[in-house]
Amino acid sequence: MKYDQRPSTDEAPCLESPHIRYVSRKAKGVYANILLDDWFKRTFAELPTSKRLLTLLLQELIPERTIADIRYAPQEHTNPDPDKRGIRVDVEVTDADGSRFLVEMQREPQEFFYERALYNTSHCIIRQMEKGEEDYDFPTVYFIGIVDFPLHEDPNRVLYRYSIYEDEDREMMTDSVHFLFLELPNCGKALTPEAGVLDNFCYSLHNMQFLEERPVELRQEIFELLFETANISKFAPEEKIKYEFSMTTERDIRNQIRYAEKKGLEKGIEKGIEKGMEQGVEKVAREMLKMGLETQTIIQATGLTEEQVRAL
């Protein structure tokens, strides 16, 4: 997502997203960044309030169902074939009728993210099938991907739902598998009269660490629980130490990534120039692909489209 420079009353520069209400892009130290792996699991799986918070979120995501009495399931899924990879999900729960909900947090764009969702969901289905069963009437499985990057371009739509349909007449093949993707940055309606709970929920997760207090528009129980959970002043002493270490590690990793991308970009361009500009930007893009640079980095450096880069 791109941000525009704006005047700031703070010492640090403030940036405003074109999609969401103005917030300072400097962590305030009031609320934790609960998108970090350990803190996401703490929020939605490890605290006394986690079950209620997750139940409220699932009910907003899947309003046609009554979500009740959820129970946490193991996060590890071993592949029956020892030579193939298993999976580990962030949070998995079952409800009273046995339906399963896999909740995955993804902070950075990733190739084949939809395929990963399908792969992880298939493991969840396999685990439900007991030996000797003759039918395949397994409880419904929902994959819920919470992503801190836009998968779609609409800045005002945060939720996308997928099921399996026939191509022409859109007849549903099965009601047993569903995929939901909650796109945090696309919360353009947040904190407005048109905003729904999910718009404001995405805004909260996307901006939590940059806020000094809970916005007055966020009055529902789900936000009371969410902000209470993320309040750093309520952390136990050992949690504060762990969180500060997590944030320091996070900053170090991001600085390393930015430096590596910068150096890799320079080397990729240099190699392209050495081979002759007449060979065009596609040669540069190929060199950058060989170096393992992200697709988005190559697009920004060369001006090629995503389709052109993938074709290479």
Taking the CA of residue 23 as centre, how many other CA atoms within 13 Å lie in the half-sphere pointing to its CB?
25
| Dihedral angle, C-alpha 104, 54, 200, 186, nearest 10 ° | 10
Helix (H, G, I), strand (E, B) or coil at 2: coil
Interhelix angle 281-290/295-302, nearest 10 degrees: 160
E-strand ranges in the chain read 4-6, 14-16, 71-72, 76-77, 87-88, 91-94, 100-106, 141-147, 159-165, 172-183
Residue 226 backbone dihedrals phi, psi, to 5 degrees: -65, -50
Q: What is the pLDDT of residue 83?
A: 54
Q: What is the pLDDT of residue 255?
A: 65
Q: What is the pLDDT of residue 271?
A: 58
Residues in the chain: 312
Residue 205 backbone dihedrals phi, psi, to 5 degrees: -65, -40
Q: What is the pLDDT of residue 223?
A: 97
Q: Per-residue confidence of the chain (312 residues) as pLDDT tens digits? A: 333 333 333 333 333 344 444 455 677 889 999 998 889 999 999 999 999 999 999 999 999 998 888 999 876 555 555 555 555 678 999 998 889 999 999 988 888 889 989 988 888 887 776 655 667 888 899 999 999 999 999 999 999 999 999 999 999 999 999 999 999 999 999 999 999 999 999 999 999 999 999 999 999 999 999 999 999 999 988 888 888 877 776 666 566 566 666 666 666 655 554 554 434 567 777 777 766 677 777 776 677 777 788 887
pLDDT tens digits for range 47-65: 999 999 999 999 999 999 9
Name the nearest CA neighbour of 24 among 43, 36, 9, 2: 9
Does the pTM of the predicted model rise above 0.85? Answer: no
Whole-angstrom Cα distance, residue 264 to residue 34? 31
Name the nearest CA neighbour of 218 among 209, 206, 227, 210: 227
Q: What is the CA radius of gyration of the chain?
A: 22
pLDDT tens digits for range 159-184: 999 999 999 999 999 999 999 999 99
